[in-house]
Chains A and B, each alone.
Chain A
Amino acid sequence: MSSASRRGVLSGAATLAFSLAAPCVIGQARPQAVIIGGGFGGATCARYLNRLGVAVTLLEPNATYVACPFSNLVIHGSRDLASQQFGYEALKREGIVIVPEMAAGVDADARLVRLASGTTLPYDRLVLSPGIDMRFDALPGYDDAAAQIMPHAWKAGPQTLLLRSQLEAMRDGGVVVMSVPANPYRCPPGPYERASLIAHYLKTHKPKSKLIVLDAKDAFSKQKLFQMAWKELYPGILEWVALGAGGKTTEVSVKDMVVVTEFDRHKADVANIIPPQQAGSIAVAAGVADKSGWCPIDPVTFASKLRPRMHVIGDAAIAGAMPKSAFAANSQAKVCASAVALLLRGETPASPKLLNTCYSIVAPAYGISVADVYHPARGILVDVEGAGGVSTLGASSEVRAREAAYADSWFKTISSEVFG
């Protein structure tokens, strides 16, 4: 339909003050979506919904987003934090309204988001992508104050720099202790990438030092690939203690710099405690989190199973077989945006397929990956049979170098798709 004839059709609605400034924009009458959280999930969803003609308001208290993927290289010392930082100017230029505030609550019946300042924002559909919060009640001795001494560095920013500076200040011959939680948590292979890169830093700069990785699990993502690399690259430096060998952290003491497990007490010069996690606390306040602390969703639309007209994506969601990764959050955000746009028009979205790829850097020019394809089945997201898997065991160093280069390329592309 030409824009002239469309104007003709719409002239009957002349009592409504609207304009057809751009072909896809219909003034005030556009349905309203509010998005909570401007990370990989929320910022992607904002851009896609906006392009689909929905009016988008994005709630994000921070003017600068600090990305976690590749932040382990900041801890390693081979990347600066500035390369992890992104702003929201491009989103603003596209017409997305950004409100620099925390969402404090949601009234599902009135369809209103309440902001920390007390103002309210109406929505036709609400998308929550608040990421994670640390469970500072879950590990005795580990609270917000303890994290200033034993950093988690599981939200990138000051915590990342704190862990980096502690490693730099440590004497040669020191002991670094890492504590890794049980599933589910943000970025399943992330702790093992970090362990690899800390070990690489120690081997290169402080070779008499040791890294002990205390794990609340017996098995983990890309395990064989990591363990083969550790044996080859970091023998005598990196020691991994599985759950079955007493690896589960039961308590920490920042006063004594001790990490306590079921069988042992580990004195640390530097302690990196990755605590148990839950969906960002707004998910609980909005009523979309269940007893597990995470959010059950419909696998086709990412609609909350607990509250109407709300959708949850990214780390906060219970996405079945999909891991809590930036790649997954981005993939889910796009599927969710198209579902929300269709639902606002009264249409029914078709069953989607989603991808994930997580690269890990084990040493400079040494990358490995896990990739998979997912689809809804029996009400959850499951792997598509016969697809996916990890990098080949025993691949050449040339292949490992290529995967490291692809990892770098992935980060550039995704961060520019989301923020650029």
Chain B
Amino acid sequence: MTRARATVLAFLFSMGSACAQSPAPPGALSCSGCHGAAGGEIPSLSGLSADEITEAMGAFKSGARPATLMNRLAKGFNETETRAIAQWLASQRSSP
């Protein structure tokens, strides 16, 4: 690839990325491996607000909400990280 073509390519790609979402916060990309469409045994996250997700994660972490597994995963994130994940998950729905 010539340098000129490389430069143009980088420019065009950065233009294209104007429509790309900002990168997901740490941990957020893993959720969709288990939480899918509504109707499955594992609850879907779609329709939940950022506050609802943050609150649920806090309750899993403290043990206030009983769980088979989410208690073990929620402990891997501090409050700031949890809120960032929750906001990102909630925002996924509103984007096309």
Q: What 0/1 pattern do residues 78 to 96 of B give for CB contact below 8 A with A? A: 0001000000000000000
Q: A387 touches which one: B20, B32, B68, B75 (CB < 8 A)?
A: B75
CB distance from B60 to the nearest CB of A (A): 11
Question: Quick one: given A1-B18, A29-B13, are A338 and B33 in contact (CB under 8 Å)?
Answer: no
Question: Which residues from chain A contact B35 at a C-beta distance below 8 Å?
Answer: 413
Q: Are B27 and A354 in contact (CB under 8 A)?
A: yes
Q: Are A409 and B27 in contact (CB under 8 A)?
A: no
Question: Which residues from chain B contact A224 at a C-beta distance below 8 Å?
Answer: none
Check if A268 is an interface residue, CB within 8 A of chain B: no
Question: Which residues from chain A contact B32 at a C-beta distance below 8 Å?
Answer: 413, 417
Which residue on A lies nearest to B73, using beta carbons?
A371
A contact patch SS:
mixed
Report the bound CA distance from A31 to B32 in whole Å. 26
Check if A77 is an interface residue, CB within 8 A of chain B: no
Check if B64 is an interface residue, CB within 8 A of chain A: no
CB distance from A125 to the nearest CB of B (A): 12
Check if B9 is an interface residue, CB within 8 A of chain A: yes
What band does the interface of chain B fall in when counting residues whose beta carbon is under 8 Å from A?
35 or more
Check if B2 is an interface residue, CB within 8 A of chain A: no
Q: A26 touches which one: B15, B26, B75 (CB < 8 A)?
A: B15
Q: What 0/1 pattern do residues 368 to 409 of A give for CB contact below 8 A with B? A: 010111010000000010111101000000010011011011
Q: Are A29 and B12 in contact (CB under 8 A)?
A: yes
Check if B47 is an interface residue, CB within 8 A of chain A: no
Question: Which residues from chain B contact A413 at a C-beta distance below 8 Å?
Answer: 32-37, 40, 42
CB distance from A58 to the nearest CB of B (A): 19
Q: Are A30 and B13 in contact (CB under 8 A)?
A: yes
Q: What 0/1 pattern do residues 339 to 379 of A give for CB contact below 8 A with B? A: 00110111001111111010000000000010111010000
Question: Which residues from chain A contact B26 at a C-beta distance below 8 Å?
Answer: 350-353, 375
Q: Are A338 and B24 in contact (CB under 8 A)?
A: yes
Report the bound CA distance from A52 to B42 in whole Å. 27
Question: Which residues from chain B contact A351 at a C-beta distance below 8 Å?
Answer: 26
Question: Quick one: given A357-B34, A414-B33, are A402 and B68 in contact (CB under 8 Å)?
Answer: yes
Check if A23 is an interface residue, CB within 8 A of chain B: yes
Q: What 0/1 pattern do residues 1 to 19 of B give for CB contact below 8 A with A? A: 0000000111111111111
Which residue on B lies nearest to A404, using beta carbons?
B41
Q: A23 touches which one: B10, B19, B29 (CB < 8 A)?
A: B19
B contact patch SS:
helix
Which residue on B lies nearest to A53, using beta carbons?
B16
Report the bound CA distance from A16 to B12 in whole Å. 10
Which listed segment binds B: A234-242, A249-257, A326-334?
A326-334
Check if B72 is an interface residue, CB within 8 A of chain A: yes
Check if A83 is an interface residue, CB within 8 A of chain B: no
Which listed segment binds B: A5-13, A98-106, A213-221, A291-299?
A5-13
B residues 29-83 in Cβ contact with A at 8 Å: 29-37, 40-42, 68-69, 72-77, 81
Question: Which residues from chain A contact B29 at a C-beta distance below 8 Å?
Answer: 331, 334-335, 338, 352
Question: Which residues from chain B contact A342 at a C-beta distance below 8 Å?
Answer: 23
Q: What 0/1 pattern do residues 99 to 139 of A give for CB contact below 8 A with B? A: 00000000000000000000000000000000000000000
Q: A53 touches which one: B8, B20, B68, B76 (CB < 8 A)?
A: B20
Q: B68 touches which one: A331, A349, A403, A408 (CB < 8 A)?
A: A403
Question: Which residues from chain A contact B18 at a C-beta distance below 8 Å?
Answer: 1, 6
Q: Which of B8, B11, B26, B76 has the most CB of A within 10 A?
A: B76
A residues 31-49 in Cβ contact with B at 8 Å: 31
Q: What 0/1 pattern do residues 297 to 329 of A give for CB contact below 8 A with B? A: 000000000000000000000000000000100
Report the bound CA distance from A415 to B91 in whole Å. 24
Question: Which residues from chain A contact B19 at a C-beta distance below 8 Å?
Answer: 23-24, 53
Q: List 5 A-B contacts (CB under 8 A).
A: A30-B16, A331-B30, A338-B24, A353-B77, A412-B40
The interface of chain B, by Cβ under 8 A from chain A, is 8-20, 23-24, 26-27, 29-37, 40-42, 68-69, 72-77, 81
The interface of chain A, by Cβ under 8 A from chain B, is 1, 6, 9-10, 13, 16, 18, 23-26, 29-31, 52-53, 327, 330-331, 334-335, 338, 341-342, 344-346, 349-355, 357, 369, 371-373, 375, 384, 386-389, 391, 399, 402-403, 405-406, 408-410, 412-414, 416-417
What 5 A-B pairs have minimum CB-CB distances, sorted nearest first? A373-B76, A387-B76, A413-B36, A409-B41, A334-B29
In addition to A409-B41, A409-B42, 14 A-B residue pairs with Cβ atoms within 8 Å of each other are: A1-B18, A24-B20, A25-B16, A26-B16, A53-B13, A53-B20, A338-B24, A342-B23, A350-B23, A353-B77, A355-B33, A355-B73, A388-B76, A410-B33
